[in-house]
Amino acid sequence: MKKYEYILFDLDGTLTDSSEGIMKSILYALDTMGIEQPSEETLRLFIGPTLDYSYRTYMKLDEDAIKEGIRLYRDRYSKVGKFENRPYDGIKDALSLLKNKGCKLLVASGKPETFVNDILEHFDLMKYFDFCAGSTLDGVRSKKDDIIAYAFSNMGITPDIYDKVLMVGDRKFDVEGAKSIGIDCLGVRYGFAPEGELEEAGATYIADDMNHMIKMFEEM
């Protein structure tokens, strides 16, 4: 891995294992709407993309049902679900290593920014980051490339230094967003991508587990 000066991290499946809170909030929304529960395999696919994408793609809901599903999900998630979560073992070591190398660290998450900030503060992760970017609750900023661009605009990252920027994420949406912007992406297999997704999406690098990722950062 070459040397990078700016490193962006996805949140769900990359910094934290957020599966419990997300899946319980999805089930709450679907149960309230009287919709049959999907399999756990399908539920895990909700971790990464936007809620409207997931409801539309994995549950085949119409637009009215999607809006209601998002409302119900956020009703539970905002109160309880966001803290049914835990930082991955070793992630603080990885972030400390990068900070000690002088890297600027950012978060670029498809999760609403208000939830991103709450989670990072709650789990004592905010101190590692120079800027945290998320989506907007109204959906105006929701695609990963738009979120990355928003982070760049706040940090003064311009195209002439894109070769010094790395995105780290666990799903194809992170890889595709990075490629769309024109930066490299490290895909991590310890998150929630189905087998082969990161390779098919074209990740620049792939880390098999947390230790592998840390080793890559050490050698950077």
* Residues with catalytic roles: 10
CB 184 within 8 A of CB 173: no
Pairwise CA distance, residues 77 & 65, whole Å = 18
Pairwise CA distance, residues 3 & 98, whole Å = 11
The residues near 100 (Cβ < 8 Å, ≥ 6 apart) are none
Give DSSP secondary structure letters for 109-148: EEEEHHHHHHHHHHTT-GGG-SEEEEE-TTSSS-SHHHHH
Return the CA Rg of the chain.
17
CB 119 within 8 A of CB 20: no
